[in-house]
Amino acid sequence: MTVHTPKLAASESAAATSAAENSWLAEDSQATQAPPTVEEARKFTDDAENRWLNLIIKASRAQWVQETFITPDTEQIAADADQQVKALVSELAAQSRRFDGMQLPEDVARKLKLIKLSVDIPAPHNPKESAELSQINASLQSDYGKGKWCPDGPAGKCLALNDLEHIMSTSRDPVELEKAWAGWHAIAPPMKARYSRMVELANDGAREMGFADVGAMWRSNYDMKPDEFSAELDRLWTQVRPLYVSLHAYVRNQLLKKYGPSVIPPDGEIPAHLLGNMWAQDWANIYPLVAPPNADPGYDLSEILKAKKVEPLAMVHYGESFFKSLGFAPLPATFWERSMFVKPRDREVVCHASAWDIDYVDDLRIKMCIEQTGEDFSTIHHELGHNFYQRAYDTQPPLFRNSANDGFHEAIGDTIALSVTPAYLRQIGLLENVPPESSDLGLLMHKALEKVAFLPFGLMIDKWRWEVFSGKISPAEYNQRWWELRKQYQGVAPPVARSEADFDPGAKYHVAANVPYARYFLADILQFQFHRALCREAGYKGPLNRCSIYNNTAAGARLNKMLEMGQSRPWPEALEAMTGEKQMDATAIIDYFAPLKKWLDEQNARDGAKLDW
């Protein structure tokens, strides 16, 4: 393993910490000094990014250990390392103010901006408060990872999230589903007080750096003004909403046939426990209930993986092979040695899938509790997309080792997964026969349950958090507002009565772990735009759902052109490098699903299904 990034000696990093504690003093004394030069600004950013890299690597290692072995000790070690990073970032942000208003070379100005945005949850300068913040965050993350529902009390058998997700995806018994749903959501109320304290502390940190609040800070990371970014999201949502509404109406009608009007309101919100997923964010598991007649694709990837005994490790190898077929180098040996692929039997871990680049060079890893399902086959591609992106930008300066915007990071692996077509599955020996074109409708329905159903969920999470961070809603309104937004955007309702004693947002990983979420909404749209561009590069002419770029090194080279830029340039330039387009554009996802949309509209008209809720 090569680490070509200069690291600081221990004594230098100790000096960095004490400077952090005195940063306000340092800043005051600078006010009387001569104005800084461009060279000084460049030297500042060079030093800053190397100090930052040094600490972020230490924090990544600590976090890896915490998430793969949750104990009070690993939680504290991770919190301490996180506090160091946050302290450095707030120190650097304060010091960088002396370059405000200067005409600087673009790369230097960009780094000065990115350093402030390099932590999702910024800490206030006060060391006591910043320690409290890091501890809260580590404990929320651990609580989520350890979350269980024990139907017969703590002495009886307890169900972890993967057990409950299994029930959500396979059971068709509304009572059993309701219990599993409520059981999981019961992990969250103890998080609420810490969550609202976290909001106060992180907002203080964001304000010290000059942002209105944490939400405004998150929206500042898209090479446009925060308000412009909100408008951009709404523009994209307006483009795709009619597609979602058609799908929602059709699915509700099918569920009505299955469960009857006592369970499904014919023209209201769909109860959130009947959509095959704990958060009603991906509906693919209820495909059998809504499958279009006479369009059966004739295969189920989960069944194939089980029948062919494709073990989790082999599933990851299939994913890696796809990237290799595009011309990417194999993953390093350490990836296979250090990743966590299955849920350990003997310790608590955070099962939520993630991809890591521990040393910001090539210590790439994934952490997953892989099961033999088509869903996890896709998630493996998703995670590997992160790893191949990370490696493609590893020669950029440290602060540019990131995706063009965070939606790009989330979209790469999913773009590849769109190429997992029946023809591809046959090429790799997992499927005997490619289904006829008449089954495309079934395949499109399956994909829509995954991708179209997700869109409003991808949007509403941060709509909620932005209001939380801006203070528009108080802790006394958290849960009510959560369900208002769930209703408004998704058209889903809670299965059982809720109150402010509940904290349903905390039962979603990204809220407990403070991972911004608008990125997944963007990725859901971008991945189709990327897929369209890569299929074009491959010279493909047919319908987008049948295109696979497997083995196409021209498409791979085109993809790499964007990946290797990292975050060195504003995202529209990266988008242009790959697609020739400068705007995020929902026409690709709309075109992809156009035949399904037509069919859904016909069914809804025939059945007199009401649109909306």
DSSP 146-199: H-EE-TT-TTS--EEHHHHHHHHHH---HHHHHHHHHHHHTTSGGGHHHHHHHH
Could you tell me which stretch among 156-164, 404-412, 421-429, 484-492 binds Zn ion (CB under 5 A)? 404-412
Q: What is the CA radius of gyration of the chain?
A: 24
Interface ranges with ligand X8Z (CB under 6 A): 353-354, 379, 382, 520
Instruction: Point out which residues pair with 354 in neighbouring strands.
Output: 367
**Which residues are known to be catalytic?**
352-353, 382-383, 386, 410, 510, 520
C-beta closer to ligand X8Z: residue 305 or 384: 384
Write out the two tokens for 300. 């189920």
To ligand X8Z, the closest distance from the beta carbon of 51 in angstroms equals 27
The one of ligand X8Z, Zn ion, none whose footprint includes residue 353, by CB under 5 to 8 A per kind, is: ligand X8Z
| # residues near Zn ion by CB under 5 A | 1
To ligand X8Z, the closest distance from the beta carbon of 520 in angstroms equals 4
CA-CA distance, 403 to 415, in Å (whole number)? 15
Write out the two tokens for 134. 């890091």
C-beta closer to ligand X8Z: residue 204 or 414: 414
Find out whether 300 and 374 touch, Cβ atoms under 8 Å. Answer: yes
The one of Zn ion, ligand X8Z, none whose footprint includes residue 60, by CB under 5 to 8 A per kind, is: none
To ligand X8Z, the closest distance from the beta carbon of 261 in angstroms equals 31
C-beta closer to Zn ion: residue 348 or 410: 410
Could you tell me which stretch among 87-95, 188-196, 408-416, 531-539 binds Zn ion (CB under 5 A)? 408-416
C-beta closer to Zn ion: residue 408 or 550: 408
To ligand X8Z, the closest distance from the beta carbon of 207 in angstroms equals 28
To ligand X8Z, the closest distance from the beta carbon of 461 in angstroms equals 8
CA-CA distance, 45 to 96, in Å (whole number)? 9
C-beta closer to ligand X8Z: residue 169 or 379: 379
To Zn ion, the closest distance from the beta carbon of 468 in angstroms equals 22
C-beta closer to Zn ion: residue 226 or 516: 516
CA-CA distance, 199 to 137, in Å (whole number)? 11
The residue at minimum Cβ distance from ligand X8Z is: 353
Find out whether 442 and 291 touch, Cβ atoms under 8 Å. Answer: yes
C-beta closer to ligand X8Z: residue 88 or 364: 364
The one of Zn ion, ligand X8Z, none whose footprint includes residue 104, by CB under 5 to 8 A per kind, is: none
Consecutive H or E run containing 404: none
Could you tell me which stretch among 191-199, 225-233, 409-417, 535-543 binds Zn ion (CB under 5 A)? 409-417
Helix/strand/coil (H/E/C) assignment for every residue in 530-564: HHHHHHHHCCCCCCHHHCCCCCCHHHHHHHHHHHC
**Of 386, 416, 415, nearest in space to 402 by CA:** 386
**Residue 564 CB-density burial (10 A; 0-12 exposed, 13-18 middle, 19+ buried):** middle
DSSP 297-339: -S--HHHHHHHTT--HHHHHHHHHHHHHHTTPPPPPHHHHHH-
Tabulate helix, strand, coil % of the chain (nearest 5).
65, 5, 35
To ligand X8Z, the closest distance from the beta carbon of 354 in angstroms equals 6
Length of the chain measured in residues: 613
DSSP state of 488: I
Could you tell me which stretch among 172-180, 264-272, 371-379, 405-413 binds Zn ion (CB under 5 A)? 405-413
Residues that bind Zn ion (CB under 5 A): 410
